[in-house]
Structure 1
Amino acid sequence: MFILPERQQEDLRRRDERDHASWDVEVGNKIDPDDGNSLVCSACRLPIFSTPFMTYVDHDHNLTMHDQCANDLPPQLNGHPLHPKGDLILSVDDDNNNNNSCNRCHTICVGRFYKCRESYYNCRFTLDLTCALTIKILHRSHEHRLAAVRGKSYSFVCASCGTQHDHPSYTLDRYKGHAEPFDLSYVCSSCDFWIHRDCALLPNAINIDDKLHGHPLLLTYPGQGVSMAHVCDICSGQPEGMGFYACFYCRYYVHIKCVIYSNPHGFKPVLLKDAQIPDLLHLPMANENTSVMPFIRKKDVTNGGASSSISSITGTDRDDSKLLLLKVHEHPLILNEHHPLSTHDVARVCNACIQLISSTDPFYTCNFNFINNNNHNNDDDHEGQCKDFFLHTCCAHLPATLVTQHPDHDRDKGHPLTLLSKVDTYSPFNLFWCHGCWRQCNGFAYACTECNFYLDVICASMPASITHDAHGKTHILRATNFTAKSCNYCYEEKVFNLEIGYECNNCRNFRIHAKCALLPDTVTHRFDKHPLKLVTISRARIHDPDQEMFCEICEEGMSPRYGRCYGCDKCDQLFHIMCIQPLDSLSKIKFGFSICVRGHDCPLECVRALTVARYKCDHCTKTIWEAGEIAFECSKCYYKIHKECAVEILLDSWKGLGENMIEKTGRYGVTIYHY
């Protein structure tokens, strides 16, 4: 151990600031939350928690410091209130000599501390950093920095557990020879927020007696996508304190005091990386050809009451999968287990979730589908109607009803949503707006027709918890609902419409729309021979920050306000996410179905609208603009119409038909070849 007088202060500054490029700055602190509790600052000896920090490693040193301790420690304190007569010099214990203790709290000074300049003579006055300065850390329990304070007696209610801690932490006074109580707490003076050291170091995940609950419980604070309005499942009491332990899959919530302090031997800490969190989904998917539904539905819910925070399965419906399978389609369905795609086959798209069915996955198809080589394929009554009907095996066994927690519908507690294979109340094309992602869809829907509320099956089935590579891999993201919060992926704020999203349960740095979380890691496009990687636009500009970047498809600029894009580093090309068809605003519509309308003899196929000056509607003669719309066209006759014009024609035809004719020809009195 040594003191740093003025002649050596420059050496300390030089060592601390030596080549700042060698310091690894952890922006936003995405480290494992368990490491945040155990990793200690080399200077102040406080845990890192969620505080941004720096690390420096060479052959002599391995330092980890809070950003404040690494950058903002003054080399000298003049006229400190606890030692006004002499200057205190920043010192460092490199040799772990342990010959100094703090004159205020009596802890052994290790790391960095302040010592009187006159220590070479008779004054050995020493203060550790927490007693000499206000050291502020960032903790997951509060949105502001918290000051570390030590005191013999502080009377406060801990904001985490809602109780007073009666047993202070004891530190050894090596000079008096007995223990002196000096408690450590963290406080935000602006918010009158206090949290005791014991609660600040609570385990992020625990296991409790299986008789109480069989899943890991996650430490949670309000403001992280959850509210405090949960009754404790152990004592049935109202919330006490801001923190609680929760199983979001089962909606099981317990007080901290009930599960930690009332029964210290009744729980076992578990590392987040080892916690067996039910139905945890790891994102992103590898590419656009990998459907998320088989991963979401990889486990059927078997314990009564288990659910996701988006929706829960009602108990009676788990026994009705065979019956439900008969209801999703008017014809018998055949299970195909070994039908890999050939190079000439058209990609199979699931009619329920509107996602690709991989070449190796089993799937259901209509008995009259052209894949099945049987006599029914030539039946005139079924010819062409079901040639493109496919279902994932998991989508063929979706629960018949769900209870959603979406705020637009959760006001009616227990009001279920019913699975519909066709939503034709407002459109003859089975189109509906999903209230989870606000995109049009023509797949299956979970609907409450009374409230005009719809969720597509992906949004309705999203799990309670996910992890995402864009954030720490051990940071659990919990389902929430976006209002005016900005998504860390697309930077878009939703003010008027509530979307399903996820928010980090371990820190306050990250939130993401569900639709953004589902973006694949790579995609392919005919404009580039390499896979396109999902990157931040700011990172894409790193090679030449002054160069203007444009999307290769729409040729419009790539603004950083869009957050992310797809790019090819080898070809130096960038693509807007919304310009890539499998990901755009129409990505939940299965194209290719046909309709027949009055005024044209050939079937009209549903297609994406094109932005071409001469692409005009043959019904109203107005231009058919793209703008995320669909249209109908006859490729043989070059006949094309707006979607709205098609609806108008179909509805007019329907009004002129009798009820018997409607039953024979379809809901709108015309032939609609739907897959």
Structure 2
Amino acid sequence: MMKVIEHEHPLKLVDLQVNVEDVDDESDDEEEKEEVLVPQDEFSCTCKRCGEDINEYYRYYYKCIHDSCDFTLHKFCAELPKTLNHPSHQHPLTLHAVGGALYICYNCWFAKDVNCFMEVDKRRIYHPSHPHPLVSLSSKPILCECAACGKEHKGVFFHCTACTNFAIHNDCAFLPKRLLIQNTTNAIFSHTHPLTLSYSFPPEEQRAKYYPRCRVCDGNFDYMGNLWIYKCEKCIYYAHLDCATSRRESFMSILSIGGGPTVKNYKDADYPNLLHLPFPDETCSIPKHLFSKELGLADYGNHEVSLPHMNRQHELILVDTGSIGSTSSKINDMIMCHNPMKKIELLCSGCVRPIMEMPFYKCAANEDKSCNFALHEWCTRLPTKADNHPGHPQHPLVLMTNIPNMFNIFHCGVCRLPCNGFAYGCVACGFYVDVTCGFMPERITHESHPNHLLSIVKEDLPSGRRCLMCRLSIHFDNIRGTGYKLSFGCSFYDVYIHPWCALLLPKTVRHPYDKHPMHISYLPIENHKSEYFCEICEEELDPHSCFYHCDECSQSVHSDCAPLILQCETETYSRFHKLFGYGKGVYLFLNMKFGSIHKTDGHPHPLTFAQGIESDGECSVCAEELQFKMILRCSECEFAVHHDCLENLNKS
């Protein structure tokens, strides 16, 4: 307790920097507990002696022991000596604190304001970011690097007298503990919760949060983790100091580079056929967009392709709603459309996308279960060739319904995925693309980088560039071990997207693991309280890479697990990624149609073409694992073999 001459009650000392860990947080209400631990608005009151503000950076202050009394003093004001000798005057000075604090010489009635004797104390602060007091050594601006933001400033700095290399700029020292980012960036960047000032971002915390990037500038954070940031851990939302506060209007500099992602940089009239991605759902695709009678673009004309052109050994029949009532129940079962909610799979043999609506074409030989051939109605009108493909402009690509190998499998020259659907190919050069990549547009827009045109980029890019969606390297195919050049890029930003991420990942998917449509997300979900893990493979999920999420159930799945159904649900490509250390962002076998039945001289029973699972064990030919590989499996015995092992066996 302390007594001062101008106040009748004793004063008690208050520490304004009590650790939040000392707060009683025994509340059972999780939301209430979280609010307790969030720093409240900064404390401020007025010193009754010097008339200046008291704030937490002075750390200690005195207040009246009676809560109803608002008498407060700075600690250094309250502890001023009653008398002092000062070189500015020859006589002792006495503290006079009635009607304002003064030091007075009663011999010659010399008086001086107490503020004149406390300049050093008022330039000293106790900042919660540092264990030692900080002092502003001069009121004149100096050029120095700030330990808070890591940038060089010219201005007033607070230095640590114990640590010779620690100084923080005046603007950083008094940043608000909490802020709403939309208020500081003119609502350009928004977040529903206040962001909290954090005085470090340790490497282990960055690692635990999947190395997040600044939500404003998309830049990295200090690897050493010593710089301050604003964050909301509930939403995994992090921002640099300058970006969150726009002290130098960092978001305005973004907008000045050709309009920024919030301002459209093209006119719709100039691009009437522009493809806006992602597609709404799995029923949509580039072939449907171009060649369906309802949606097809006039630029491509009327490309009617006769069904005999498909070179099928069996007749194809048109399945539509009018044919269902006249068919037997046996055939009825065979013409059900693809429905992941009922675990029914029906894939087009041309584009290898789900057939989710009628009409479509199907093999008429119902008695021959070895044939699972089916076609979208629009895939019967695919053009016979594609000219000037960006991946192979030197030769036209010809439509091929069968690739010259045993299982009709090729690796697409754009997306690098294995495919056994139709191809556009140049046999002379050995270049093939699937029918989706065969009509890869020159320009697109994508909601992950809205309002800016993304154009095909053919040249090599500097190392370190990553896909905006999957966050994997933009120009190296880890699966095939082969470099490639095609990507979609923004001419105003260092932003790139893999062609397969843009063209093959729809906006919504349906999956039997969730009764609601799951929507694609490119960033962590706002107010998501639990950890992120995939509902299908039950492995961890990086929320900074695109993934599918159900807002109602708060469930998430990897983008490369989302299309899986039937036996592949528990044998996912994400597990493959985890085991073997490389990934692609989309399901490895997205362009593969399994289920066909093959007869071979090397085995007495029919073999089913499938994805290998753990229970398949080892290959009967090479004795290597079959899991995650394309295999042929016998349903009558334990024979199973890699597809290429069987192909090589037949060749020999």
What amino acid does structure 2 have at the position aligned with 1:358?
Answer: M
Residue in structure 1 matched with residue 610 of structure 2 by the alignment:
607
Q: Distance in 1 between matches of 2:538 and 2:459?
A: 31
Identity %: 29
Once the two structures are superposed, residues 590-646 of structure 1 have per-residue CA deviations (whole angstroms, 9 ceiling, x without a partner) of 11112122342211000111134x6222333333132xx211112232321122221
- 1:21 equivalent to 2:180? Answer yes
> Contact conserved, 2:402 with 2:422, CA < 8 A, in 1?
yes
Q: Which runs of 5+ in 1 are unaligned?
A: 1-6, 8-12, 32-49, 53-65, 74-134, 144-200, 206-271, 304-312, 371-377, 653-675
> Contact conserved, 1:521 with 1:533, CA < 8 A, in 2?
yes
Q: TM-score, normalised by structure 2?
A: 0.51
Once the two structures are superposed, residues 370-413 of structure 1 have per-residue CA deviations (whole angstroms, 9 ceiling, x without a partner) of 3xxxxxxx7xxxx3454x22222221111111123434x33x3x
Q: Distance in 1 between matches of 2:494 and 2:345?
A: 39
- The equivalences for 1:155-554 within 5 A come to 204-205=265-266, 272=267, 274-275=268-269, 277-298=271-292, 302=298, 321-322=304-305, 326-338=309-321, 345=336, 347-359=345-357, 361-366=358-363, 368-370=364-366, 383-384=368-369, 386=371, 388-407=372-391, 409-410=392-393, 412=394, 415-424=395-404, 427-472=405-450, 474-481=451-458, 483-484=460-461, 485-493=465-473, 494-495=475-476, 496-498=482-484, 500-504=486-490, 507-508=492-493, 510-517=495-502, 518-536=504-522, 538-539=524-525, 542-543=528-529, 547=531, 549-554=532-537
What amino acid does structure 2 have at the position aligned with 1:527?
Answer: Y
Q: CA deviation at 1:70?
A: 5.2
Pair 1:445–1:638, CA change in 2 (3 A): same
Q: CA deviation at 1:351?
A: 1.0
Larger radius of gyration: 2
Q: Distance in 1 between matches of 2:248 and 2:305?
A: 67
> Contact conserved, 2:423 with 2:432, CA < 8 A, in 1?
yes
> Contact conserved, 2:351 with 2:436, CA < 8 A, in 1?
yes
- 1:71 equivalent to 2:238? Answer no
Q: State the SS of the aligned residue for 2:425.
A: strand
> Contact conserved, 1:445 with 1:456, CA < 8 A, in 2?
yes
- 1:598 equivalent to 2:601? Answer yes
Q: Distance in 2 between matches of 1:483 and 1:339?
A: 52
Q: Distance in 1 between matches of 2:642 and 2:298?
A: 47
Q: State the SS of the aligned residue for 1:348.
A: coil
> Contact conserved, 2:411 with 2:432, CA < 8 A, in 1?
yes
Once the two structures are superposed, residues 64-111 of structure 1 have per-residue CA deviations (whole angstroms, 9 ceiling, x without a partner) of xx97995249xxxxxxxxxxxxxxxxxxxxxxxxxxxxxxxxxxxxxx
Q: Distance in 2 between matches of 1:137 and 1:589?
A: 42
Pair 1:482–1:25, CA change in 2 (3 A): farther
Q: CA deviation at 1:449?
A: 1.0
Q: CA deviation at 1:519?
A: 0.9
Q: Distance in 1 between matches of 2:587 and 2:496?
A: 21
Q: Distance in 1 between matches of 2:312 and 2:373?
A: 9
Q: CA deviation at 1:369?
A: 3.9
Once the two structures are superposed, residues 250-294 of structure 1 have per-residue CA deviations (whole angstroms, 9 ceiling, x without a partner) of xxxxxxxxxxxxxxxxxxxxxx3x526333222223333544531
Q: CA deviation at 1:22?
A: 6.1
Aligned length: 385
What amino acid does structure 2 have at the position aligned with 1:606?
Answer: F
Q: Distance in 2 between matches of 1:630 and 1:28?
A: 50
> Contact conserved, 1:321 with 1:398, CA < 8 A, in 2?
yes
Q: CA deviation at 1:321?
A: 3.4
Once the two structures are superposed, residues 130-150 of structure 1 have per-residue CA deviations (whole angstroms, 9 ceiling, x without a partner) of xxxxx967544699xxxxxxx
Q: Which runs of 5+ in 2 are unaligned?
A: 1-50, 52-170, 191-215, 219-241, 325-331, 337-343, 477-481, 565-585
> Contact conserved, 1:281 with 1:296, CA < 8 A, in 2?
no
1:557 equivalent among 533, 540, 545: 540
Q: Distance in 2 between matches of 1:25 and 1:430?
A: 58
> Contact conserved, 2:259 with 2:265, CA < 8 A, in 1?
no
Q: Distance in 1 between matches of 2:258 and 2:519?
A: 35
Q: Distance in 1 between matches of 2:361 and 2:286?
A: 17
Q: Distance in 2 between matches of 1:319 and 1:522?
A: 30
> Contact conserved, 2:181 with 2:245, CA < 8 A, in 1?
no
> Contact conserved, 1:481 with 1:501, CA < 8 A, in 2?
yes
Q: State the SS of the aligned residue for 1:326.
A: helix
Q: CA deviation at 1:535?
A: 2.4
Answer 1 or 2: higher relative contact order, Cα 8 Å, separation at least 6: 1
Q: CA deviation at 1:19?
A: 7.2
Pair 1:340–1:527, CA change in 2 (3 A): farther
Q: Distance in 2 between matches of 1:542 and 1:569?
A: 9
Q: CA deviation at 1:556?
A: 3.1
Q: Distance in 2 between matches of 1:523 and 1:322?
A: 31
Q: CA deviation at 1:301?
A: 5.9
Q: CA deviation at 1:524?
A: 3.0
Q: State the SS of the aligned residue for 2:601.
A: coil
> Contact conserved, 1:609 with 1:624, CA < 8 A, in 2?
yes
4+ runs deviating over 6 angstroms: 16-19, 25-31, 66-69, 340-344
Q: Distance in 1 between matches of 2:184 and 2:498?
A: 27
Pair 1:28–1:355, CA change in 2 (3 A): farther
What amino acid does structure 2 have at the position aligned with 1:389?
Answer: F
Q: Distance in 2 between matches of 1:634 and 1:433?
A: 26
Superposition CA RMSD, Å? 4.3
Q: Distance in 2 between matches of 1:443 and 1:339?
A: 28
Q: TM-score, normalised by structure 1?
A: 0.49
Q: State the SS of the aligned residue for 2:600.
A: coil
Pair 1:357–1:509, CA change in 2 (3 A): same
Pair 1:615–1:30, CA change in 2 (3 A): same
Q: CA deviation at 1:504?
A: 3.3
Residue in structure 1 matched with residue 560 of structure 2 by the alignment:
578
